[in-house]
Structure 1
Amino acid sequence: MTTTIVPADPLEQVLTQVQTESGNEDLTGLSPEDIAHLAKNLWSWGSGVPAGRQDVRILRGAKGASGALGRTLLETTSPDMPFLVDSLLGECAEQGHEVRTLFHPIVKMADGRMVSVIQIHLPELTGEEAARLEQGARKTLQDTELVVADFKPLKDRMREEIRRLTIMDDAHEAVAFLEWLSKNHFVFLGCREYRFETDADGRVLPEEPIMIEGTNLGLLRDEELNVLSRDAEPLVLTPEIGELLSDPFPLIVAKSTMISRVHRRVACDYVGVKKYDAEGRVNGEVRFLGLFTAEAYDETARSIPFIRRRVKKVIAASGATPGGHTEKAIANLLETWPRDELFQTPSKALGPMILGALHLIGRPRPRVFVRNDQFDRFVSVIVYVPREAYDTSLRERITATLVSAFDGRLVRFQPYFDTGPMARVHFQIALERNHPRPDPAMLEAEIARLARTWDQGFREALMAATLDETHREGARKFIGAFNAAYREAFPPEEAMRDVAAMAELNAARPILARAFRGAGEDADKVRVKIYARAGSIPLSACVPVFEHMGMFVAYETGYPVKPHERPVDDAPDIYWVHDVSMRTENRAGVDLGELGNRFEQAFEAVWNGLAENDGFNRLVFAAGATWREAALMRTLCAYRRQSGMDQPQDVQEAALARYPAITRRLIDLFAARFDPASGASLKQREEACKALREEIEEQLRDVRALADDQVLRRLADLILGVQRTNFYQMDAAGQPHRFISLKIASREVADLPEPKPFREIFMTSPKVEGVHLRFGPVARGGLRWSDRAADYRTEVLGLVKAQQVKNAVIVPVGSKGGFYPKQLPDRSDRNAWFEGGRDAYKEFITSLLGLTDNLVDGAVTHPNDTVIWDGEDPYLVVAADKGTATFSDTANAISLEKGHWLGDAFASGGSAGYDHKKMGITARGAW
């Protein structure tokens, strides 16, 4: 008696299988009730599809038992067959959709049919995405059905080809390979037979192969599909392909241009079996399309027919001793070589690649091996790079390099890691017709550059640098000194530039600046590296300096640099490199080639206290001024402000920056009048100044604002009233003085308050400002410590007016001076505050003597590097006044140091006992 087993209710089968599968799925956001609800809906729909048919649906905004689930469902129903799940997951991945959950119940129907229903949970898709996914899923199911339906005919056709080759001479290896394929080493996807057009001599003509009707199986039932062509382009049997077909081996193994939708979403493998005429000449081909199985990749290369011959040839050609270390190393390389490459690379091309890879064992370095596909549709590139350098970023940069070099597109990449120091990546690039053919050596050099580690690059940059041995040894101390953040931000070549800059730092030069512009950055962008040896520099300290130079600071990043040894004896343990990014406030472009160095020097001068931090520094970029030229304009403007009749400082700064061409001419006017390097006579200087003044006058016509006109015009007039300057003088160390002093013929300068002195010396520096007024060639008067920053000249002028009346018997005309210290310590420390005043006084006295003639052996001598417009003027004596009662000895010490003809009688009231009144130095008629 026969017992009939009735299958369980289909819905019960679905629910049971879904519940079982739930234990292995991500059920976030799904309750058991939701899962059951969705399973019932799936079967309710799937069971309604006619028997033997396939269908697909997309459910956007899917709902569970208690409402919306915030996901989209891809659901399919089909007769059960292999590859369904793999193929659908491949379609989802191809379209960029992450699969959250998958259920795949297989239902046995009462009539014995097996029905596969699949539910794939995806993030919410747009309408367009859903439509595209549905279309792709339908095509995937159709392809899968074609392949499965023709599985037996495909195997039969393979057996037929095996029988045909068996009777051929020297085809044993080809037969063994086809038999090996048939034993679960190849997923058959399609088959098609072609006939080739030949000439009278049997040579294959460069024509499109002729498809044999009735031979299409599997995916190739679609006659529009071509195994080897680019896109829809027909494959023409070129002479190169003809040469391949004429090879005596009866098989061709290559990659197809078709991407499989079935099983794995990769390029299909192609196995061509040549057909021959009665005289043994190739006249056709049977092309099998498929995928090598996982087993094909797992078996040893020496056991696989067809490629085992290649392995043997490569080992034999290497000359390695049988059983020796080298032979074993080559065999291991062949076993781990990309299996597709073993199938597709002839031994004469494979051998040099394997030997090249073998040499990397003893000498690891980047290498590139290029193999062009036999049909010129792909290029296979095997890249070796240091394992420590390999990451996603490097792989993407190598990909971009290869795609650009071959003008192609990436098909796939496959990294491989063993226990050695090198990583191997296999790239496959699809090619277009007439694609570039880059030089492999140049390609290797570029990839080596991309793949080098940062420290390797630094060593190479160090070796390439032009350094003497002392500096090279110091630079070696910086190997390993740069942290990860720095290495991420800057290449090794930039680090060498930074090392060179840090080598310039010392106790006398604690900071240094370097201006540059990053690749591709706009002309209004400026980057500045600040190097410091005394600790990190706060951004708050830098920003005001750059802002006064007309820049807007965007960001700053500081990097500590710690050499493993001190490069020089007095080096710090840690240097700091600050990268400051900024742009010009007015978005104007900056030529760093011309102005970068001036910008760097200006920043350092401000930071080191040589220049003041104010808006006059904007002239560096605005007018191309050096920091000292900006300081000169600051001095000239300060004098005009002290007249009490001129614009405030911000208006002066703005006028000069607003009209940079006029500012440049003002600087030129000053240089024409006073630069001793020109060697011009006073007459020549006068003519040059006249021409420049006329040019300035012409430019002033375009100045719109009255205030701007006043500032610029009065500066031009003032320059012509200056008789001497120390601007071009050098100190004992050969450097410019820290202060700028001007000797002015006040009565030649318009717009000054009365009474106008005969001469005055005006000076400024970051530390002090001061003025000395003389109402005649012979005059004496005290110097006072002023506390009136805005109008100390007005204060001194008032004193000297009173003095002219009070001292009429002693001095024909009065003389007074005053100085204003600008950097005094806090007054709570009385001694420090007082000594700060004394230091300011010293600088003031030095500035006065620096513009005064001397008497040497009775002859008048002028100061060095000074153009003289006012003739001989050796008379300068001073006395004490408010705040300077104890400073006469200080003044006399400076006089002695400078070799001034009055020596320690220069200042009245000193400890030597000189009294100018008693000595008659200031008596009427003494001169």
Structure 2
Amino acid sequence: MVDSREYREYWDKFHAFVQANKSGDTAEAFAQFCDQLVSPHERVELSERNYTDLYGNLLALWRLYTGSSKEQTQIKVFNPELEHHAWQSKHTVVHIVCRDRPFLVDSVRMLVNSKNLTLHHIIHQRMPIYSASAATNKPSKPDHVSVILLELDKEASLDNLSVLKSEIESRVNDVAYVVDDWKPMRSTLQTIIDGIQSATKKDQYPLLDDELAFLSWLTQDNFTFMGYRYYSFCREDKKDVIVQHESSSLGLMKMSQGNSTVRNLETLSEGAHNWLHGDENLLITKCNKHSTVHRPVPLDYIGIKDRDDSGKVIGEHRFIGLYTHTAYNTTPRAIPLIREKIKQIFKHANVAEGTHDGRALDNILETLPRDELFQLTSADLGSTSLDILHMQERPIVRLFIHAERFARYFSCTVYVPRDRYHTRLRLKMQKILEKELCASTPASFNTRFSDSILARTHFLVEVDGASNASVDVKALEKRLADCARSWGDRASNALIEHYGESEGRRLLAKYRDAFQTGYREETTPQQSIVDIAHLEELSDSTPMSLMLYRGLDAAEFEAGFKVFIKDQPISLSLVVPLLENFGLVVKGERPYKVSCDGLVAWIHDFHVQHVDQLEFTPERVKKKFHQAFLATWNAEAESDGFNFLILAANLSWQEVSLIRAYARYLKQIKFAFSQPYIEKCLSAYPDVSSMLIALFHSRHDPDNRSKSKEKKLSEEINQYLEQQVESLDDDIILRRYVDLV
């Protein structure tokens, strides 16, 4: 970011650049266009750009602007290149010039976000456009157009650029349908209200006053009207049908003209039938279509029954749109219908207003998702709000589910302790709800934080056939609660279960905050119990503990090897050569620092595999391997290629030292082969090494001396050498070892 003096200098130089490349009135007009289009705040960001590229970008937009009229929509989507445009951009550039209307920028930005494209820069300005009078050839009073410049992630495909242009044009048209018909739609609703209020209609509509008050409230800038159509109910071919009247269509409803205009009433959902034949005059719900204008949420649906003079339902006035921000932010008690629901809830709950519970219940109703207040019955709303009241601000997970009356979606409200809430948790909960409720599309959500210790997320899960009876809410709530439990919670339970109440709580107090985030993400609480046991072994006299183990997904020749060490981390340059001499290749290492109760320790978790992909069982070899590693680390044993036999032949480090001693003796008596060559030979035949050690014990161990066993081993070794060893050098080395033993 540059300071104001620097950006003013940049903009002055840009003006000079314009004058140098254009002349006369054209230069002046273009400069004025740039000054009007680019606000001082935007100039700060643009001042880091190359003059030529900025000039080319704004010039292309100016040409689109000067070639437009008020009623035209001009859209250009392209990738500027020096070769073709004399300027360039690392992004895809979108230029839009169209009649100025509300919601344009919001709607285009929604489209960009829905395509997972990053919006790198946006400029929008309402600009005057003049048309000359035919009689006087003088400019008339200016109209205004919206001039929009977008820079998005670069899209290389020409086909995708063409699709993007078409989609932007469609969004601009959607905005035009909505804005141009907004007043006619509001007037239509007012006409409906006036008609119902007429003397001939009053007796036909039960619950009239509150419903009419709600409809009037909608017209007071509390609802953004986006579509309207009238539907009539009649009989055709001995069937009850619903007929859409295309001529009545306004706003977005015009876009569906030409679709099937007649639908059999028998195909409607059970909820639709219940409303059609019930006493309710209003239907307040959501559409199964998301808005393409203003906000990317499901459209709100207001249905109004139309009755004849006898009170029979003969049709429906259907409005779609979005409640405005005013509707969402005003107190529920100021909204007709909702305020009546609140009165009923307090009455049936036997809670007095002004009391502690009354104020708490009032706050719950004030802060519940507003769509719930609009759509739920007073009974369902009361049950949910009282359950929330009885949570008493406890740090627990609760789930409230309601199926939409037309079985098109579930409304799921989830409460989670605020200190546990994070995006990953929300995504996990969303996936669980989508899977268990058989979502047809990804769920939409809205999260609210307040002074409460609980965070609330409201999910809208669209489905094909929603029913409260088909959902085990308690089981689903338990799954969400398990999902919301932190690593520390699960580790606490695991420690107490493994060690018992007393010792488990002691270890919990000691290690509660000992492990860092990386460890928690990579290690399960159950695995941490084993690690804690090793950490407990560390002391000044025992500064190191080891664990060779096999992971769940590891192959038979792979293993994990953990080194627990006190005070300081170990150097990889020291450990890796040691492991390589054991025949292990280090494929990865993750170090974790542990700090607790005065203890500082490190856990080095190595992922190793045998160099020859030799299969080995950690349970069988780990004792000898651990002893050998410690002896080598403490310089009690040597680290060389003979250590390969510890895993390959399951020998102890003392037995390997014996084989090494024979090699040193061979060197002293001028044996022809070097130690590395001997190491390679014995590593190639680990079975022979095992038999040599067994032969040594049968000959020289007083407790295990056995002539018969010695003879049998000698015969087995000789047979093995004759059948398995092809190399003459290897045969000489192995037979010399037999002779020495």
Q: TM-score, normalised by structure 1?
A: 0.65
| Residues 1:82 and 2:102 aligned together | yes
User: In structure 2, what is the Cα distance between the partners aligned to 1:267 and 1:249?
Assistant: 23
Deviates more, 1:455-464 or 1:628-637: 628-637
| Distance change (3 Å), C-alpha of 1:266 and 1:534 | closer
CA distance in 2 between partners of 1:371 and 1:624 (Å) = 63
Q: 1:209-245 CA distances to partner (integer Å, 9 max, x unpaired)?
A: 5434433321122227999xxxxxx994233543454
Q: How far apart are residue 56 of structure 1 and its match?
A: 1.5
Match of 1:364 in 2: 395
> What is the rounded CA distance, in whole Å, between the counterparts of 2:306 and 2:693 in structure 1?
91
Which of 569, 590, 604 does residue 536 from structure 1 map onto?
A: 569
Which secondary structure state, in structure 2, belongs to the residue aligned with residue 604 of structure 1? helix
- Partners of 2:662 and 2:242 lie apart in 1 by 91
Q: Which residue of 1 aligns with 2:125?
A: 104
AA aligned opposite 2:148: Q
1:27 pairs with 46, 64, 67, which one?
46
Deviates more, 1:31-40 or 1:110-119: 31-40
Aligned match of 1:705: 727
**Residue 183 (structure 1) shift:** 1.3
The partner residue of 1:421 within 453, 457, 467 is 453
Q: Deviations over 1:813-864 (max 9, x none)?
A: xxxxxxxxxxxxxxxxxxxxxxxxxxxxxxxxxxxxxxxxxxxxxxxxxxxx
Give CA-to-partner distance per residue, 1:330-384, whole Å, 9 cap, x none: 2112211221232233344434433443344442123333333333333333233
What residue identity is the alignment partner of 1:651?
Answer: Y
* In structure 2, distance between residues paired with 1:277 and 1:693: 110
Give per-residue Cα distances to partners, 1:258-290, cap 9 Å, x unaligned: 222222232212222245678867665433211
User: In structure 1, what is the Cα distance between the partners aligned to 2:371 and 2:168?
Assistant: 28
Structure-2 change in CA distance of 1:67 and 1:50 (3 Å): closer
Structure-2 residue corresponding to 1:604: 630
Q: Which residue of 1 aligns with 2:16?
A: none
* Structure 2 CA distance for aligned equivalents of residues 676 and 159 of structure 1: 111
Conserved? CA contact 2:33–2:62, under 8 Å: no
Q: Partner of 1:622 in structure 2?
A: 648
Q: How far apart, CA to CA, are the structure 2 residues paired with 1:120 and 1:596?
A: 66
Task: Give yes or no for contact 1:14–1:43 (8 Å, CA) kept in 2.
Answer: no
1:295 aligns with 2:351: no
1:179-215, CA deviations, whole angstroms, 9 ceiling, x for partnerless residues?
Answer: 2112111111112334568999x9x98xx95434433
Structure 1's 574 and 32: CA in aligned 2 closer, same or farther, altered over 3 A? closer
Tell me if structure 2 keeps the 8 A contact 1:102–1:120.
yes
Pairing partner for 2:593 from 560, 568, 584: 560
Quick one: distance in 2 between partners of 1:219 and 1:457? 51
- Return the match for 1:353 from 384, 403, 406: 384
* Structure 2: distance between partners of 1:594 and 1:310: 71
CA distance, structure 2, for counterparts of residue 145 and residue 79 of structure 1: 9
Partner of 1:187: 224
CA change 1:535–1:119 in 2 (3 A) is: closer
Tell me, yes or no, if the aligned pair for 1:33 and 1:65 is still in contact at 8 Å.
no
CA distance in 1, matches of 2:672, 2:346: 94
Q: 1:656 to 1:117 in 2, by over 3 A?
A: same
Question: Which residue in 1 is equivalent to 2:560?
Answer: 527
CA distance in 2, matches of 1:380, 1:615: 66
Could you list the per-position Cα deviations for residues 894-916 of structure 1 after superposition, in whole angstroms to 9, with x for gaps in the alignment?
xxxxxxxxxxxxxxxxxxxxxxx
- Structure with the larger RCO, 1 or 2 (CA within 8 Å, 6+ apart): 2
The change in CA–CA distance for 1:362 and 1:93 in structure 2 (over 3 A counts) is closer
CA–CA distance in structure 2, aligned partners of residues 358 and 445 of structure 1: 20
Q: Which residue of 1 aligns with 2:509?
A: 476
Please tell me whether the aligned partners of residues 396 and 415 of structure 2 are also in contact (alpha carbons under 8 angstroms): yes
Q: Is the 8 A contact 1:310 1:347 kept in 2?
A: yes
Give per-residue Cα distances to partners, 1:755-775, cap 9 Å, x unaligned. Answer: xxxxxxx9xxxxxxxxxxxxx
* Equivalent residue runs for 1:504-523 within 5 Å: 504-518=537-551, 520=553
Partner Cα distance (1:682, 1:482) in 2: 54
8 Å Cα contact 2:590-2:606 kept in structure 1: yes
* More divergent stretch after superposition (37-46 vs 412-421): 37-46
Name the amino acid aligned to 1:100.
H
User: Per-residue displacement from partner, 1:662-693 (whole Å, max 9, x unpaired)?
Assistant: 5555566667889999x9x957746xx62784
* Cα distance in 2 between the residues matched to 1:704 and 1:315: 94
1:341 aligns with 2:367: no
The match for 1:175 is 212
Per-residue CA deviation, residues 532-551 of structure 1 (Å, 9 max, x unaligned), is 23543332332222111112
Residue among 134, 144, 151 paired with 1:122: 151
Q: Deviations over 1:584-615 (max 9, x none)?
A: 33455654455455544443343355544333
Retained in 2: the 8 A contact 1:176–1:305? yes
SS in 2 for 1:464: helix
Q: Superposition pairs for residues 72-471 of structure 1, below 5 Å?
A: 72-95=92-115, 96-109=117-130, 110-112=139-141, 114-123=143-152, 125-128=154-157, 129-163=160-194, 166=197, 167=202, 168-195=205-232, 210-223=243-256, 236-243=267-274, 245-275=276-306, 284-408=315-439, 409-431=441-463, 439-467=472-500, 469-470=502-503
Query: What secondary structure does 1:254 align onto?
Result: strand
Bigger fraction of residues in helix: 2
Distance 1:633 1:307, change over 3 A: farther
* Deviation of 1:303 (Å): 1.7
Query: For the structure 1 residues 433 and 619, does the alpha-carbon distance in structure 2 shift closer, same or farther, using more than 3 Å as the test?
Result: farther
Match of 1:542, as an amino acid? V
Partner of 1:529, secondary structure, is strand
Give the C-alpha shift of residue 509 in structure 1: 3.2
Cα distance change on mapping 1:695 and 1:285 into 2, 3 Å:
farther
* Structure 1 stretch displaced more, 100-109 or 65-74: 65-74
- Residues 653, 275 of structure 1: alpha-carbon distance in 2 compared, 3 angstrom cutoff: farther
Letter in 2 for 1:256: C
User: How many angstroms does 1:297 deviate by?
Assistant: 0.6
Distance 2:736 2:462 in 1: 73
Please give the alpha-carbon distance, in whole angstroms, between the structure 2 residues aligned to 1:564 and 1:700.
Answer: 62
SS of equivalent to 2:414? strand
CA contact (8 A) 1:517 1:527 kept: yes
- Indicate conservation of the 8 Å contact 1:75/1:120, yes or no: yes
Larger radius of gyration: 1
Q: CA deviation at 1:162?
A: 3.0
In structure 1, C-alpha distance between the alignment counterparts of 2:674 and 2:86, rounded to whole Å: 76
Secondary structure of 1:104 counterpart: strand
1:50–1:476: structure 2 CA closer, same or farther, 3 Å change rule?
A: closer
Counterpart of 1:576 in structure 2: which amino acid?
A: W
Shift in CA distance, 248/595, structure 1 to aligned 2, threshold 3 Å: farther
Letter paired with 1:340: D
Aligned residues between the structures: 691
CA contact (8 A) 1:187 1:292 kept: yes
- Conserved? CA contact 1:75–1:117, under 8 Å: no
User: In the TM superposition, what is the alpha-carbon distance from 1:656 to its structure 2 partner?
Assistant: 3.6
Please tell me the residue identity of whatever aligns with 1:379: F
Shift of 1:291: 0.9
How many angstroms apart in 2 are the aligned matches of 1:216 and 1:243?
A: 26
Which structure 2 segments of 5+ residues have no match?
Answer: 1-25, 131-138
Q: CA 1:609/1:35 → structure 2, altered by over 3 Å: closer, same or farther? A: closer
State the distance in 2 between where 1:467 and 1:32 align.
Answer: 72
Provide the C-alpha distance between the structure 2 equivalents of 1:699 and 1:575, rounded to a whole number of angstroms.
Answer: 49
Tell me the amino acid that sits aligned with residue 683 of structure 2.
A
**Which runs of 5 or more residues in structure 1 are unaligned?**
1-8, 228-233, 566-572, 719-749, 753-761, 763-927
Aligned partner of 1:56 in structure 2 is 75
Q: Is the 8 A contact 2:538 2:545 kept in 1?
A: yes
Across the aligned residues of Structure 1 and Structure 2, the Cα RMSD in angstroms comes to 4.3
Q: Which residue of structure 2 lines up, in the alignment, with residue 42 of structure 1?
A: 61
Amino acid of the structure 2 residue aligned with 1:115: H
Give the whole-Å Cα distance in 1 for the aligned partners of 2:254 and 2:362: 41
Residue-by-residue CA offset, 1:414-448 (whole Å, 9 max, x unaligned):
22111232222223333356999774444433433
Match of 1:828 in 2: none
